Amino acid sequence: MKLDVREQQSVTIVDLDGNLTIGGGDVMLRNLTVQLLQDERKQIVLNMAGVTYMDSAGIGEMVACSKLANERAATVKLLCPTHKVREMLRITRFEELFEIHEDEQAAVASFSTG
């Protein structure tokens, strides 16, 4: 798993690339999310377009990161989940926990519109 962080306006975008699985990507995502929250970044978008595979640990970590963000008055939104990722979110009913966008500009703008 490769994680790249960039800023657009006041929104932190994390580009995920590779497998979000147990013992690798899940730990990396958790550590990065904790660091972003410690740095007072409150608006986070996880760009899922490059996620090729996600297991239950990966989805569990996404939910845990969202919960941690909520506890710190921050928000995590998803961008461009692949078909496989979106299907896993739907099956597990976690799709309802995340605001999902297909367009980066719309995801960034959604923070200013509420």
**What CATH number should be reported for the domain holding residue 58?**
3.30.750.24
Residue 77 in contact with residue 47, Cβ under 8 Å? no
Q: What is the mean pLDDT of residues 62-74?
A: 94
**Domain interval for residue 24:** 2-113
- The helix (H) or strand (E) run that includes residue 53 is strand 43-54
Query: Beta strands 2-8 and 11-20: pairing type?
Result: antiparallel
Q: What is the mean pLDDT of residues 27-33?
A: 93
Query: Which of 4-8, 47-51, 81-85 has the least mean pLDDT?
Result: 81-85
Provide the number of structural domains found in the chain: 1
Query: pLDDT, tens digit, for every residue of 49-59?
Result: 999 889 888 99
SS3 73: coil
